[in-house]
Amino acid sequence: MDRSLEAQSKNDISNHLEEIEVKLLLQGLYDWCGYDFRNYAYQSIRRRIWHRVYAERLSTITGLLDKVLHDPSCLQRLIADFSINVTEMFRDPLFFLEFREKVVPLLRTYPSIRIWHAGCSTGEEVYSMAMLLHEEDLYEKTKIYATDINTTALKDAKSGIFPLENMKKYTSNYLRAGGKRAFSDYYCVTNKGVQFYPFLTKNVIFAQHNLVTDRSFNEFHVILCRNVLIYFNKTLQNKVHSLFYESLGMFGILGLGDKESIYYTNHFDSYNVISGKQKLYRKVK
């Protein structure tokens, strides 16, 4: 056989074997503890798995499956690897500016407001929204539900403590997002880091919720699910979009992340576009 063909065929076999091992690991995880990562985007989950294989000083994915099933701490480490928590305050500042300019006037017309941050990670997005609503005199009539699959991230979110070194970037984001005060009005510096004032979370409920396996739990005026669906495959994205569609009241607002869109999902024609660039949509049927 031609050498390059031989190499190609070896490559195909090893990719196929890898796919089988990934499938077995994810199925094993699901059967063992109910966490369902089977429909997460393949390439991203594959990278995370190999990262854990090497970190555990193993050489195969099957070896990792063995360890995950028999060592609860390794199971926790793998689940933590799958939950990518990167976030920041006023992430994509123009999203928050657009929210302030186009969504806030709609929210003013409601007697009370329910907002769901789905996949809130360590809470930076939630504190950002609380500041924005406070400045627009809407916070008092708002209830925010902030959920994530990751309980460690939720614990950090509840604490309201964030690293001091992030404040420069967050201050700049806040100003670009149309912030009306001094960003430093919202926190004080302690020896543990920066402590945001508790009034920002007095109307927030932090709770664990798994978008893959849990159901709708209320009807919302706004759902933000930003930078979460990029980690899911098409089938799972559609499933979660159905959950959002069910959970939004008529004329409710859906906000997605920079690289996400309502286009090509099964609920595409149920929404009007408020801002195509900032991924803000309004349910109209």
Q: Which residues sit at the interface with ligand SAM, rule CB under 6 A? A: 83-87, 91, 119-121, 125, 148-150, 153, 210-212, 226-228, 257
Give the integer Cα–Cα distance in Å for 143 and 29.
35
Q: How far is the CB of 44 from ligand SAM (least distance, A)?
A: 11
Cα 84 from chain centre: 8
The answer for residues whose C-beta is within 8 angstroms of residue 174's C-beta and 6 or more apart is 89, 90, 93, 128, 131, 183
Nearer to ligand SAM by Cβ, of 85 and 238: the residue is: 85
Shortest Å, Cβ 227 to ligand SAM? 4
165-171: long-range contacts, CB 8 A cutoff, minimum separation 24: 166/88, 166/89, 166/194, 167/194, 169/88, 170/88, 170/89, 170/90, 170/124
For residue 217, the minimal CB distance to ligand SAM (Å) is 13
Decide whether 132 or 211 has the Cβ nearer to ligand SAM: 211
Nearer to ligand SAM, 190 or 218 (CB): 218
For ligand SAM, the closer CB: 53 or 223 = 223
Q: What minimum distance in Å lies between the beta carbon of 117 and ligand SAM?
A: 7
For tokens 């193993």, what's the residue? 58
Instruction: Indicate the residue among 121 and 173 with the shorter CB distance to ligand SAM.
Output: 121
The distance of closest approach from Cβ of residue 256 to ligand SAM in the complex, given in angstroms and rounded to an integer, is: 9
